[in-house]
Each structure stands twice: as C-alpha cells, then as structure tokens.
Amino acid sequence: MSYQEILGRENVNDLDAILAITNTDVDEVVHAVKDNADAIFTWDYERSRPALGRLYEKAKTSQWNGETDLPWDTDVDQEELAVQMGMGGVPEFAHLLPEEFRSTPVAKWGQKEWIQFGIEQQNWMLSQFMHGEQGALVCTAKIVETVPWVDAKYYASTQVMDEARHVEVFAKYLDTKLSGHYPINAHLRMLLDDIVNDSRWDMTYLGMQIMVEGLALAAFGLMFQVTPEPLLKQLLRYVMSDEARHVAFGVLSLKEYYEQLSAAEMRDRQEFAFEAAVRMRDRFLQQEVWERLGVDPKTAIRAMRSLPDDPEQDLFNQLLFSKIVPNCKKLGLLDAGDGWLRDRFTEISVIQFEDWVDTGEEYETLDEVAKDRSA
C-alpha cells in the first residue's frame, strides 16, 4: 500500500498537504461517527488472564477524585507562566532567519506577541489533551462492548472511569486557570474517527491504547518536566499514573492476540500504526494557534523550520514516540513480515526508542497515587 492510500499524500512531510486538512464543523457541538462494531457478550466468567487481573486490582486501588485530590486553590498567572517557559526571549531568533522570512509577521514580533503565543500554546495543548481524553473515553467504552474476554471487560470498565476523570480535570483547568478552549485538531479528529469507525476490537486497542495513549503518556511526562506550575504538575502526575496502566492494558491484551494473526493481518495493523503515528505527529504543528494570532500557518511554520537546527525541539518531537516504539516492538509490529514498520519509523526518525522499556513492565513504577497515599 502506498503513502497516498495510507495518508492521502505521497510525501509524508508534505507541509501543504498536512495544512490542507482542517476541521469543517468547528461550530458544531456534537460530532457523530458510525461505530460498526458488534457488541459481544461472553458467558465464560473464568478469570484466565492473570496479568490483566493484576492490572484490574491495581486500577481499583488507584482511583482518585479530580475535585478533592488536586490543589484547585492554586493561582495560575498565564502570562508569567509563558515567561517562565521561555517565550519572552524568543524575539532574539529573528536575525537568524533567512532573508526570505525576515519580512514575515512572526519575524517582527516583540516580547508581547511571543508571550501571547506562549499563552495560546498552553490553551491549545491542554485543549487537545482534553479532546484526546474524550476520544479515549469513547474508545474504552467500545472496548468494554467489543472485547471477548471477561478479564479485559473488567479492566476496561475501570479505564472508562479514569477517562471521564481526565476529561473533567482538563476541562476544569482550562475553564478556571487558562484563558480559552480550542476545537479539536483536524489530524487528531481524523484518527479518532478512524479508530471508532473500525469494526475490529483489536484496532480500537491498537489505535487508542498503544498509539494515542502511548503518545499522551510521553507528552504528559515531557510537560511535567518543563512546567513550573504546581497544580498542573500534580494533575499530570495523577493522569500519568492512570495512562501507564492504560497502555499496559493494550500491550498485555494485544500481545496474546497478535501471535495468532497471519502476515497479511499483521501488515494491516502495521500500516494502521504508521498512519496513527503520522497523524499524531502532524497535529503538533499547532496550525490553529497561528491562525488565531492572525498569522498564515504555512508561512510561520516554514519560517520556524528555516532556523538553524534546534536540538531541544528535535528531541521533544522524537520523545513523543518514546512509549510507542518499544510497545510496537513488544507486540511484534516492528519486524513482522519484511520489517515494514521498522523502516517507516526509521524514516520519521523515532526508531532509536525501540529498546526503551515497554509499558507492560513499567506501569507499577508510575503509580503516583499509591506513593502519595503511603507517604
């Protein structure tokens, strides 16, 4: 299958094609997606998967209350936070731009404009996290409905509660501490639509538990490291505790199932994983932020890309995949068939994470809720 068939474009890095994908229903409150899956009842109640049973027990004891377990009385000064995150110093970059970009609006921004960009970035990032968590809420409810194993149904039911709590706390943070919501990014929405629309229960796992939740776990970890804001740090600590279990749930469930699949079936899942990876990478271009600030996204992104290589930004973009790649390797997706997915992850410069710890082994070390309760 060609990139055109998988992504709708031949060049995975075609900026024009990436930015041509936009939301067409941003003013709608409800977005409907056809769910083609069968609801599966199982009359076999034997607990036959010990690893999932342990995960279920961990989930039951690690629930937390988004209203009472977070310090909501914390004051958040968004402008000061943007300065602390380094946005006030960005104007110094203008002289580094090639001549063709020195007349662009971004090149003329001063400290005030860059601080506002930092504020909008905060609003945008937390909005996308919130939308992604609602996607996880819907998809995990679908897993309860469609997975044929009772152990998986038990665990997935706890994740439904987790995801509702995540949507709740991100929405409250946006409403009470930040200064505005953004609609869902078009690339993220396309991916969520594809996951919900697919009739196969394991593709819901792959798309949500491995890909979307895996990237979210890495993104939350990176944001936790860089933000100085104490309420957000605590919120992210607790959300990450849940997310690590969610990704482990996908790894533990799919490893068993994928061992039974044919080469053609595995190739189909490799292609889906690659499409999901590219869609999630493309969403981080943040074109909605540039648009809100009155700057043509294509011009702004090309100007930023024309700067000398920024090792920190490159590392950030790559680390977003630090949970996805080792989990795909554990599932046998990297090297199935002719190693098609390994080659694709090499192309987008994320294959170096293949031997990092997979989340099937990692989730117990990330249980921040249990650590706080035992302190």
Choose between 109 and 136: higher pLDDT.
136
How confident is the prediction for the chain on average, in pLDDT?
Answer: 91
Do 122 and 229 meet the contact criterion of CB atoms below 8 Å apart? Answer: no
Q: Which of 70-84, 86-100, 113-127, 128-142 has the lowest mean pLDDT?
A: 86-100
pLDDT digits (tens, 9 = 90+) for 124-174: 999 999 999 999 999 999 999 999 999 999 999 999 999 999 999 999 999
Q: DSSP letter for 51, please.
A: H
% of the chain surpassing 90 pLDDT: 74
Q: Which pair of structure tokens corresponds to residue 41?
A: 């009842």
Which residue type, as a one-letter code, is found at position 73?
D
Q: What is the CA radius of gyration of the chain?
A: 21
Closest CA to 209 of 268, 272, 271, 165: 272
Angle between helices 111-146 and 150-176 (to 10 degrees): 160
CA distance 298 to 97: 15
Confidence of residue 91 (pLDDT cuts 50, 70, 90): low
Reported in sequence order, the residue ranges of the chain that DSSP labels E, i.e. its strands, are: none
Q: Which pair of structure tokens corresponds to residue 258?
A: 């994928």
Confidence of residue 360 (pLDDT cuts 50, 70, 90): low
Q: Kindly tell me the burial class for residue 113, based on how many C-beta atoms sit within 10 Å of its own C-beta (0-12, 13-18, 19 or more).
A: middle
Choose between 229 and 359: higher pLDDT.
229
Q: Mind giving me the DSSP string for 64-133?
A: --TTTSS-TT----HHHHHHHTTGGGGGGGGGGS-GGGTTSTGGG--HHHHHHHHHHHHHHHHHHHHHHH
Average pLDDT over residues 46-60: 94
- All domains in the chain, ordered by first residue: 101-374 (1.20.1260.10)
Average pLDDT over residues 263-288: 95
Average pLDDT over residues 56-68: 96
Query: Angle at the Cα of 270 (from 268 to 276), degrees rounded to 5?
Result: 105
Q: Which pair of structure tokens corresponds to residue 363?
A: 């989730």
Do 37 and 145 meet the contact criterion of CB atoms below 8 Å apart? Answer: yes
CA distance 51 to 99: 59
% of the chain surpassing 70 pLDDT: 95
Query: Angle at the Cα of 146 (from 325 to 327), degrees rounded to 5?
Result: 10
Which residue type, as a one-letter code, is found at position 13?
N
Q: Which of 64-68, 312-316, 317-321 has the lowest mean pLDDT?
A: 312-316
Sign of CA dihedral 18, 20, 24, 29: positive
Query: How many Cβ atoms from other residues are within 10 Å of residue 223's Cβ?
Result: 18
Provide the CA 80 distance to its chain's centre, in angstroms.
Answer: 26
pLDDT attached to residue 105: 85
